[in-house]
Amino acid sequence: MAAEPLPGAQAPAAEGEPLHAVPPLPPAAPDGDDLAAILEDLRERGLHRRMRVVTGPQGSRVVLDGRPVLLLCSNNYLGLADHPRVREAAADAAMRWGAGAGASRLVSGTMTVHRRLEEALAAFKRTEAAVLFGSGYLANLGVVGALARAGQVVFSDELNHASIIDGCRLARADVFVYDHRDVEHLAWGLRKHDGRGGVIVTDSVFSMDGDVAPLEEIVALARRHGLRTVVDEAHGTGCLGPGGRGAVAEAGLDGEVDVVIGTLGKALGAYGAFAACSARMREYLVNSARSLIFSTALPPPAAAGALAALELLVERPAMAATLQANAAWLRDELAREGFEVAGSSTQIVPLVVGDAALAMRMCEEAIQHGVFAQAIRPPTVAPGTSRLRLAVMATHTRDELRQAARTLGRAALRAGFRPGAGLPVAAAQPPGHPDERVPEPL
Ligand code: PMP
């Protein structure tokens, strides 16, 4: 990425700027005291993170740190991660082909299961071809890095996922960050930098807000300016559109987007990712996407599990509609509790409370009462917009979702936030730490 931000553009972190909430490391101190000081600072700012442990498989109800809870923050949207057919396929693959692929795709890591999955994904996405990546993070890193070069421009929505931001860094291209879903701002940027080449990249469903990109307009603008488009369907694949084929299909844009990224670790219940594209684009990515070339191929059990999940989705195309009906139901129930949920139109429903510590309190309160909805804080979201990010599953019952909305309403009040009041009841701290810059878009 160029050190110089483009005129009029809010540039993602330039070289040397922090990538996260953690302040720069002081010189190493004995016994890791420098690290202890940083961790303490994060705790004081309500930004410290820890990993909660789930016992047993990923379902709509889990045991979290020993406590049974309704799981309301998993990307296992269709409940396929623990589906018997998906488990069996993964287990069989381990017995037939082993636990690992042993090498990168371009050395000896390409196995029959990878080819079969790629063919099935291409058929599902109605593209000529597909190519697997180790994860969605790696796919975005590799694809953005392959499609924009130094001197060119990546046009990127301000709320795109962190892996796209990191892909921009790897590309060393200039980055024009357009205001969230703002096609006029994008059009302005495109005019300003016309002729420089590059790519427009956007999430389809935004991971922390649950809204959908204006894909038709973006594709039309790209065509007008002779640019390629990349759409990250991490949260669209399996969730939106006809048969769960994604937001691109829903917008009637099959075959119109140069590269559609999808993940296998969310609705498809396994792990890994793919880029669906033309055969020529596939060949180009195989020859240029560094995160594909320099990383071990997907383990056979993950590939086989994803293939079984995809087969289930094709057999039962109504799963995505069930998920969206559940999401609409939860949004209604939350609105009944006074929460502002109008921004979301998908299975991702944010409850924005503002302050990071308040979001944590509300999250803990809800867990105490049997609902797990993770608090999301800076730098994952901008300071002052901390939230509980709810993720609906097709396997939640209506009753569970109604109860969850009530529990969340009570948890909000106990934590000091009145739903719908717009501002926390408790005195809100000024957003962010004084020396914390607005984080890069996700
Ligand atoms: N893109 C988006 C929009 C995401 O939300 C995520 C994961 N949260 C990724 C990419 C990365 O996918 P993966 O977890 O497979 O690395």
pLDDT 10s digits, 413-439: 999 999 987 544 433 333 322 222 233
Cα 340 to ligand 1 centroid, rounded to whole Å: 25
Beta bridge partners of 302: none
Please indicate whether residue 136, judged by its CB atom, sits closer than 6 Å to ligand 1. yes
Q: Among all residues, which ones are annotated catalytic? A: 207, 235, 266
Instruction: Please give the order of strands across the beta sheet that includes 375-376.
Output: 348-354, 386-391, 375-376
Report which protein residue has its CA nearest ligand 1's atom 9. Answer: 136
pTM value surpassing 0.75: yes
Look up residue 406 and give its two tokens: 């009530």
Share of the chain above pLDDT 70, in %: 90
Cα 123 to ligand 1 centroid, rounded to whole Å: 22
pLDDT band for 6, please (50, 70, 90 cuts): very low
pLDDT band for 23, please (50, 70, 90 cuts): confident
pLDDT band for 95, please (50, 70, 90 cuts): very high
Q: Containing H/E element for 229?
A: strand 228-232
Going along the chain from its start, the domains and CATH numbers come out as 54-77+318-415 (3.90.1150.10), 84-315 (3.40.640.10)
Q: Containing H/E element for 37?
A: helix 33-44
Report which protein residue has its CA nearest ligand 1's atom 12. Answer: 136
pLDDT at residue 12, rounded to an integer: 44
- Does pLDDT of 8 surpass 50? no
Residues composing the chain:
442
**What does the pLDDT look like over 115-172, one tens digit per residue?**
999 999 999 999 999 999 999 999 999 999 999 999 999 999 999 999 999 999 989 9
- Does pLDDT of 334 surpass 60? yes
Number of H helices, E strands in the chain: 14, 14
Report which protein residue has its CA nearest ligand 1's atom 14. Answer: 136
Is 15 in contact with 1 (CB distance < 8 Å)?
yes
Cα 234 to ligand 1 centroid, rounded to whole Å: 6
**What does the pLDDT look like over 176-204, one tens digit per residue?**
999 999 999 999 999 999 999 999 999 99
Please indicate whether residue 352, judged by its CB atom, sits closer than 6 Å to ligand 1. no
- Does pLDDT of 295 surpass 80? yes
pLDDT at residue 435, rounded to an integer: 28
Calculate the average pLDDT of the chain.
90
Cα 8 to ligand 1 centroid, rounded to whole Å: 28
Pocket test for ligand 1, best of 132, 137, 141, 291 (most atoms within 8 A of CB): 137
pLDDT at residue 20, rounded to an integer: 56
140 Cα nearest atom in ligand 1: 10
Residue 34, C-beta contacts closer than 8 angstroms, at least 6 positions apart: 25, 26, 27, 28
Residue 51, C-beta contacts closer than 8 angstroms, at least 6 positions apart: none
Cα 316 to ligand 1 centroid, rounded to whole Å: 24
Please indicate whether residue 203, judged by its CB atom, sits closer than 6 Å to ligand 1. yes
CA dist., res. 15 & res. 13, Å (int) = 7
**What does the pLDDT look like over 217-233, one tens digit per residue?**
999 999 999 999 999 99
